[in-house]
Amino acid sequence: MLGQDIITGARFMGIFLPFVFALMIIFINRGKTKSKVYEKARYMVSIATMLCGIHFLVQFLGHFREKSVCTAWAINLAATSVVVALFVISGLYLLRDGHKMKTILISAMLFVFAEYALLGIGLLTGTLVNDEHPIRTTTFAVAVLITLGFIYMIALLQIELKKSLEKLEDSDLGEYHKYFRNLAYSTYILSILQLGTPWIGITANPYINAVYLILLVMAVCCTIGCFLFYGINMEAVINVQDEITEATVDEDDLSLTAISSGEMEEIGRKVGDWVSKEYYLSQSLNLATALKQMGLTSNQLNDYINSSTKAEGYRKWIIGLRIEASMKMMLEHPEYTLESIAEMCGYSDRSNFTRAFKSHVGASPSNWLAEQKK
């Protein structure tokens, strides 16, 4: 049948693509992001991707659907729920920048434990499979549990996505935070699509299964692709995370009284000491790290930037410091290439450096240097 052929083709695609993407996730840009949050999320996504490929391989080799629709249904539930849980957790981990994940992780583990406990009970009692009356099986109870779990995860994703995008709404990052936004949206869409997974397996209609399977494989591939671009463009992502951190300054900080002149002098001394050590040239720098190195709060640093510099916020202040350092290097070391100067000034490549330089100075590094030599 045509529908069965499409299912077979989709399963083969589901076997091949996840393993390819898993290898890409493992090796592309490995260790270059210098972000512990991203590296942990990378680990979860790579496991989820491998499990996805293994699941399709088992279904493909076992021909379970041809033997028993209910058996294939149970296997599908056992595999995809774990895969999607890992994808969603990795998405939440990135959205929350690794913070306040304990409750979510415990909930996910309890969710998976309860699911497998029901599957085990069904297997032991002989109530796991019943092709004539699937509603009377423990597989049906597992499907209900998974649906409730997916609804919970979708709600969490929606809340975190809304918070993050609202905080970035007035940001001038433009194209930069598209990587952040695209990954969040793709994970959200995948989780919504997965709402059909607990119930699509109950139907024996090959055409419905074929269409759904193809959509699911495409959604998984899209999510993995967005994750890869997120890592490749990690410098822009770090800027986004700084925007979020700046937008989520503790209310306690914001409620502080005006900083006295004496306190401002002390803040200026700490900032000056930090600048003199050139911490701002680190490619892995973010706002949280900078504050820790200075021994300041977000409120104190923002007050210093607003009162003592012409920069509009932390990110532009850092860009200004880096560009000034790059100008000095270009004039004092004409033998340096723009690629090496970009790396020494905190940029992952020449294109990001050129874009930042042009935005700050109004001319490209090459044109600016040519003007200085006249």
> In this predicted model, what pLDDT tens digit does every residue of 195-236 receive, in sequence order?
787 777 676 666 777 777 778 778 877 888 887 777 776 655
- pLDDT tens by residue, 77-90: 888 778 878 888 88
Cβ-Cβ contacts under 8 Å for 56 (sequence gap 6 or more) = 11, 12, 14, 15, 18
Domains and CATH numbers, the chain: 2-234 (1.20.1070.10), 242-373 (1.10.10.60)
Residues 40 and 33: their CA atoms lie apart, in Å, by 12
Determine how many CB atoms are found less than 10 A away from the CB of residue 54. 15
Determine how many CB atoms are found less than 10 A away from the CB of residue 78. 17
Is residue 112 within 8 Å of residue 118, measured between CB atoms? no
Residues 110 and 37: their CA atoms lie apart, in Å, by 23
DSSP secondary structure of 31-50:
TTS--HHHHHHHHHHHHHHH
Residues 339 and 354: their CA atoms lie apart, in Å, by 10
Residues 259 and 46: their CA atoms lie apart, in Å, by 48
Cα 110-111-113 angle, rounded to 5 deg: 60
More confident residue, 195 or 174: 195
- pLDDT tens by residue, 13-62: 767 877 887 888 777 766 555 567 777 888 888 888 888 888 878 877 88
Half-sphere exposure of 209 (CA within 13 A, CB side): 23
Structure tokens at 96: 């929350």
- pLDDT tens by residue, 135-146: 888 888 888 888
Which residue matches tokens 């210093």? Answer: 304
State which amino acid sits at residue 51: L
Helix, strand, coil shares of the chain as percentages rounded to 5? Answer: 80, 0, 20
Residues 292 and 7: their CA atoms lie apart, in Å, by 54
